[in-house]
């Protein structure tokens, strides 16, 4: 992945526990910069203006409670799947797999199989979900039963067992495969929610697994059999050949990419951000060499009770992602709207963003668009989450929401003043609030004021 261009040295975290935890990723992609883009420890710069829930999002238990109160609320408002489950689950695996993170380096891996024999490919293809409601997404994903098989993350390099091998095979698949899971007990739970990965239904340990014939994704299959190809190269080759992000991420998670001795199972939540980071860093390297965009451009789209607005300014590459969470939304149970963001300068960043995976998913969408336009710009991406967004469904919604916005016809302006006025008419949050939260908008306004003195 090449990445963050001219940055030659990066400060390593001093905490030896953090350093040891991240060594697998450094070896896996063989680029020290990705280590910080997917920092497992998720170092947090606390802000008194932002509630813990937005920093935590049910993963860090910053409130000190044994169970996340917000997640408990989610479960209370979601009905259990309507189908009956037993010790055997037969159906068409979309394909979909999940690699957990608890107990790392020993983690649970396994397929997700719905008790359906129809074409289930839509269940694992979020690229096709734009325009669907939260209820439709939940109804789809609640049908997936997660099988769990305990394995060491080093198994793809040191010797893989039969069940793990079949899970890895599903990472190569391009279409549903008839599958049967024999479980040690009846699946429990209703739905698992996260801001980092897609929801899924009940789960149980696997006793036996059988999968039928399946078609493969050719570029991913090629990378799997090329045991001298580095992980970054395999990911980028698949992306350049048009393989969907979801398929690349799935393969990355089950250790399909990389040199044989360095292959790993990668927890799903980490693999999503890693692939977002690998691809966007590669695209950004080219974007930095492009000429600037002509004037100011504003793109927008609405999805899942979220509004996305993307501003491109004719300036050197910089990127910023800002979210405004209205009361009674997924991670803002309070009574006041909360707004916060993060950004990076021309050469990128060397620390993990406080905003989590969405930051990298949106950065990928922005880099894709500029690469397509063969232009360079300073990008400010804004999101307003409204009360209808009451359940987290994973970072895909931000990536696909911004991608959809960037497919729309932009509104174009010749100056920043008119651009900001238009933006103020398209968002509910006052313009002054956005500017106060935005480093890039403040820089742009300062430059505009200084330019007025130049004759």
CATH topology of domain 78-211: OB fold (Dihydrolipoamide Acetyltransferase, E2P) (2.40.50)
Of 357, 196, 349, 346, nearest to 276 by C-alpha is 357
Q: In whole angstroms, give the CA distance from residue 123 to residue 129.
A: 9
Q: Which residues contact 128 (CB under 8 A, 6 or more apart)?
A: 122
Residue 208, token pair as written in the block? 């036996």
CB distance 96 to 111 below 8 Å: yes
- Other beta carbons within 10 angstroms of residue 96's beta carbon come to 24
Q: What 8-state DSSP symbol labels residue 98?
A: E
Q: In whole angstroms, give the CA distance from residue 277 to residue 193.
A: 23
Beta-sheet strand order (sheet of 318-325)? 338-344, 318-325, 378-385, 306-313, 296-303, 411-413
Helix, coil or strand: residue 334: coil
Q: In whole angstroms, give the CA distance from residue 16 to residue 20.
A: 6
- Other beta carbons within 10 angstroms of residue 351's beta carbon come to 15
The reported pLDDT for the residue numbered 127 is 97
The reported pLDDT for the residue numbered 431 is 96
Residue 378, token pair as written in the block? 């300073």
The reported pLDDT for the residue numbered 315 is 96
Residue 24, token pair as written in the block? 């697998």
Q: In whole angstroms, give the CA distance from residue 180 to residue 202.
A: 16
Helix, coil or strand: residue 261: helix
Sign of CA dihedral 64, 67, 68, 69: negative
**What are the Cα distances from residue 162, in Å, to 154, 206, 325, 427?**
15, 12, 45, 53
Q: Which helix (H) or strand (E) element contains residue 111?
A: strand 106-113
The reported pLDDT for the residue numbered 180 is 96
The reported pLDDT for the residue numbered 386 is 94
Give pTM, 2 decimals. 0.85
Q: Which residues pair with 338 in a beta bridge?
A: 325
Q: Mean pLDDT in runs of 10 for the chain (455 residues)?
A: 30 36 45 44 41 62 56 54 76 96 94 93 96 89 94 94 96 95 88 82 94 95 96 97 97 96 95 96 97 97 96 97 90 83 92 89 98 98 92 91 98 97 97 96 83 52
Domain limits, CATH 2.40.50, in the chain: 78-211
Q: Specify the pairing of strand 145-152 against strand 203-211.
A: parallel
Q: Which residues contact 82 (CB under 8 A, 6 or more apart)?
A: none
Identify each DSSP E strand in 387-451 by its residue range. Answer: 411-413
CB distance 355 to 341 below 8 Å: yes
Concatenated DSSP letters for 151-188?
Answer: EETTHHHH---HHHHHHHHHTTBSS-EEEEEEESS--B
Q: Which residues contact 407 (CB under 8 A, 6 or more apart)?
A: none
Q: Percent helix, strand and coil across the chain, each rounded to 5?
A: 40, 20, 40
């Amino acid at each position: 992945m090449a990445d963050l261009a001219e940055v030659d040295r990066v400060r390593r975290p001093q905490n030896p526990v953090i350093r040891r935890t991240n060594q697998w990723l450094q070896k896996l992609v063989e680029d020290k910069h990705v280590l910080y883009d997917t920092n497992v420890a998720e170092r947090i710069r606390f802000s008194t203006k932002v509630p813990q829930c937005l920093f935590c999002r049910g993963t860090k238990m910053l409130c000190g409670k044994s169970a996340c109160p917000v997640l408990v609320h989610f479960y209370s408002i979601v009905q259990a799947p309507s189908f009956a489950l037993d010790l055997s689950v037969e159906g068409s695996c979309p394909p979909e797999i999940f690699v957990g993170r608890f107990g790392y380096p020993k983690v649970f891996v396994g397929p997700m199989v719905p008790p359906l024999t129809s074409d289930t490919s839509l269940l694992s293809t979020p690229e096709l979900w734009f325009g669907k409601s939260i209820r439709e997404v939940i109804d789809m994903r609640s049908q997936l039963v997660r099988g769990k098989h305990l394995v060491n993350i080093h198994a793809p390099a040191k010797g893989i067992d039969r069940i793990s091998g079949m899970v890895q095979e599903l990472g190569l698949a391009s279409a549903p495969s008839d599958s049967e899971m024999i479980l040690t007990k009846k699946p429990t739970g209703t739905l698992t929610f996260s801001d980092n990965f897609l929801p899924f239904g009940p789960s149980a340990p696997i006793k036996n697994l059988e999968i039928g014939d399946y078609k493969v994704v050719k570029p991913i299959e090629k990378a799997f059999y090329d045991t001298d190809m580095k992980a970054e190269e395999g990911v980028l080759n698949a992306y350049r050949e048009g393989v969907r992000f979801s398929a690349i991420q799935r393969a990355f998670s089950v250790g399909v990419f990389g040199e044989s001795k360095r292959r790993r199972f990668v927890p799903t939540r980490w693999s999503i951000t890693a692939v977002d980071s690998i691809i966007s860093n590669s695209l950004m390297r080219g974007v930095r060499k492009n000429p600037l965009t002509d004037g100011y451009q504003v793109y927008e789209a609405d999805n899942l009770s979220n509004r996305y607005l993307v501003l491109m300014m004719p300036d050197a590459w910089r990127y910023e992602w800002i979210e405004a969470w209205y009361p009674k939304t997924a991670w803002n149970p309070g009574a006041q709207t909360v707004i916060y963001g993060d950004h990076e300068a021309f050469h990128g960043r060397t620390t993990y963003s406080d905003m989590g995976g969405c930051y990298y998913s949106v950065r990928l969408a922005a880099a894709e668009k500029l690469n397509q336009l063969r232009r360079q710009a300073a990008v400010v991406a804004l999101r307003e989450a409204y009360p209808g967004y009451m359940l987290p469904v994973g970072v895909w919604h931000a990536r696909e929401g911004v991608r959809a916005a960037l497919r729309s016809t932009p509104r174009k302006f010749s100056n920043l003043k008119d651009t900001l006025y238009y933006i103020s008419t398209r968002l509910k949050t006052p313009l002054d609030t956005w500017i106060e939260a935005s480093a890039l908008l403040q820089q742009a306004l300062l430059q505009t004021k200084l330019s007025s003195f130049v004759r």
